[in-house]
Structure 1
């Protein structure tokens, strides 16, 4: 009887924590929906053949540069304002940037608007992921992160559906972006209520305060889990290039704008539907082996899309759906593997480092992809993306072959107060 009461109490406590985090995830989903819509709207404008290729590369680079800046400065915002107020402040900044697209089409102005947009989105992601990592206990961290990934996948899908509902060439796309951001801001501040207070961290035996505050850097992450570093870099290059370059790819292979948006939509649906199965698998098999299989399959799918010859539209939709299901689940599996190797006190700094790696993937590859597509063929985009997946495969093999790290501990409870 006591065991039953203990189990029921645990279920009730877990359900209460899930209810508490629900409005936080909903706020993230709404704001990320606006970003998905904005990314595709800008890409549709840049797919115009009359726009110089150099300008396209410059504007594509602006967002990841801003994203990198957001990763580097997010800790400052959180330390000064706390997670909740930092989230609201940066969302308001994103709303101001969205206004600019309706006021001017000057390339230099769009460069700065894209940079501000990248800065805001990266900051929001760091705020959200670090808060979730601090709020969750060791047993629920994977579940919360899966919910977070589901919300971002839904946001991507909702953004594409809004594009299709309004029409790819609608003059009101940027106005819709502004409306979605403001609705997310209104919900986060007036409807959802205050974010739950973060729990205080329990003392960790054998460590000093200085050790607990130690920042976990990129070199430590690369030494501990090279497959995670490769997976996060691959996710950065995949997400940025698929969502920004697919409309340009579609235009150059003879697809209309609606079909190009549908390609991004089915890619997003595949990723969304695969999140839960991938999470279930990652808890039941060696995550390094799962990442190896995901890398191999992704390489094959990229090669299939880039295969010489003309694909039917139905086949392209199918390939993009499966590609999204596999490629968009590499990131959470890689993060879960890193989390299983880290002490809880390192999770916040590790989260920032991983997003920094993600932003490097954002920055390095769009310009390269645009140049390869301009010089060779539109399909060169997927040869580049397949190369990123190949790096994940090689890193997974390396992690599988070497001996497990000595002295690695599973995640411990972590947290802090606002």
Structure 2
């Protein structure tokens, strides 16, 4: 237990370097493409390619971990991340950039499976929720730091890649100091169907899909949205900082509220608030307040949904459920940016927020219908 307690903060420090790297790339890549006159649909394609990589990485993560062990796998994918970032400097076209972003997506997904699995396996029923809250807070802090540091990064793609490579080297150094070992499965087959059809986890998994759709769209398209409004790179980074910082601050209090008052009710309220915030942004009123509300809601949907789904399975199935949640989250992140980018190209930039409103309303309908159905069943059962 001593090794575990000391390994956890070191694991988070390593994750911090990976997240800072990813955060800077998520904003800088769309801006590079905008500055080079790429249309919105191609920017969406490059963004979706990253999430295709997430999907592939999620599927192959267990096989790679079983072959090389957790720490070696983590180190290898950090090296892959660095090489792919350097690869962006080789040419400026949509197909090569889509390929390199796909490779980065694979590396990130494997990293998340390792980190989240280490937390879920070593945590207990009492500590797992707190550890996940600290993990998500660290992840979003890294995202904020990445946005804040972006103005100090070199604009040149090659030198940018060299900075990312240095951060990846630091991530490898810290992961080497941990003592995590993940249990090996007897079967190496990728069988998530029992988790996907697990009725009690259905809405939790749907929450992971919704979170992926919204956050994936914002990461892929929001920098381009602000750039088309005429904001410079520094202003774009500032708006992203406001959005993500709100999510960081909300993590722990929202987690406490979810545990105390119920995850399903809280998700309904969050989606309603997100809808109102998007309407404010479409109308152009109280933009800062709307961005804060949006960040505080959308960035807490995934951890709440993840905890909700994990509550419905046995401990030996938690890692598989974690992999399933990453898979469906990635599917949401993969589909939404490409479709919403097409809508923005044809109908206007505001359709980024119109799309988020439609997604949120649909999730509110699903959650409310289930809540009413459960209450009616309990009421009928009392007679």
Q: Please report the TM-score for the alignment, with normalisation by the length of structure 2.
A: 0.90
Would you say 1:248 and 2:224 are equivalent positions?
yes
1:1-400 aligned within 5 A:
17-48=4-35, 50-166=37-153, 172-189=159-176, 193-197=177-181, 215=192, 217-221=194-198, 223-307=199-283, 310-311=284-285, 315-400=286-371
SS in 1 for 2:197: helix
Using the TM superposition, name which of 83-92 and 116-125 deviates more. Answer: 83-92
SS in 1 for 2:124: coil
Gaps of 5+ in 2: 378-383
Following TM superposition, by how much is the alpha carbon of 1:106 offset from its aligned partner in structure 2, in angstroms?
3.3
Do the aligned partners of 2:40 and 2:344 also contact (CA within 8 Å) in 1? no
Rounded Cα–Cα distance in structure 1 between residues aligned with 2:191 and 2:81 = 32
Rounded Cα–Cα distance in structure 2 between residues aligned with 1:323 and 1:132 = 28
CA change 1:364–1:214 in 2 (3 A) is: closer
Following TM superposition, by how much is the alpha carbon of 1:68 offset from its aligned partner in structure 2, in angstroms?
0.7
Following TM superposition, by how much is the alpha carbon of 1:198 offset from its aligned partner in structure 2, in angstroms?
5.6
Rounded Cα–Cα distance in structure 2 between residues aligned with 1:158 and 1:55 = 27
Rounded Cα–Cα distance in structure 1 between residues aligned with 2:290 and 2:277 = 7
Rounded Cα–Cα distance in structure 1 between residues aligned with 2:217 and 2:184 = 40
Gaps of 5+ in 1: 1-12, 202-208, 407-418
Q: How many residues align?
A: 374
Do the aligned partners of 2:30 and 2:43 also contact (CA within 8 Å) in 1? no
Following TM superposition, by how much is the alpha carbon of 1:359 offset from its aligned partner in structure 2, in angstroms?
0.7
Q: Deviations over 1:276-307 (max 9, x none)?
A: 10111112111111111111111111121122
Following TM superposition, by how much is the alpha carbon of 1:214 offset from its aligned partner in structure 2, in angstroms?
7.9
Do the aligned partners of 2:51 and 2:330 also contact (CA within 8 Å) in 1? yes
Do the aligned partners of 1:168 and 1:258 also contact (CA within 8 Å) in 2? no
Following TM superposition, by how much is the alpha carbon of 1:401 offset from its aligned partner in structure 2, in angstroms?
2.6
Using the TM superposition, name which of 44-53 and 353-362 deviates more. Answer: 44-53
Q: When you count helix as a share of all residues, which structure comes out higher?
A: 2
Following TM superposition, by how much is the alpha carbon of 1:59 offset from its aligned partner in structure 2, in angstroms?
1.6
Do the aligned partners of 1:267 and 1:323 also contact (CA within 8 Å) in 2? yes
Q: Deviations over 1:307-361 (max 9, x none)?
A: 2xx45xxx32332122111110111111111122221121111111111101111
Rounded Cα–Cα distance in structure 2 between residues aligned with 1:286 and 1:70 = 32
Rounded Cα–Cα distance in structure 2 between residues aligned with 1:325 and 1:248 = 22
Rounded Cα–Cα distance in structure 1 between residues aligned with 2:334 and 2:250 = 27
SS in 2 for 1:341: coil
Following TM superposition, by how much is the alpha carbon of 1:229 offset from its aligned partner in structure 2, in angstroms?
2.0
Following TM superposition, by how much is the alpha carbon of 1:167 offset from its aligned partner in structure 2, in angstroms?
7.2
Q: Please report the TM-score for the alignment, with normalisation by the length of structure 1.
A: 0.83
Rounded Cα–Cα distance in structure 2 between residues aligned with 1:110 and 1:146 = 33
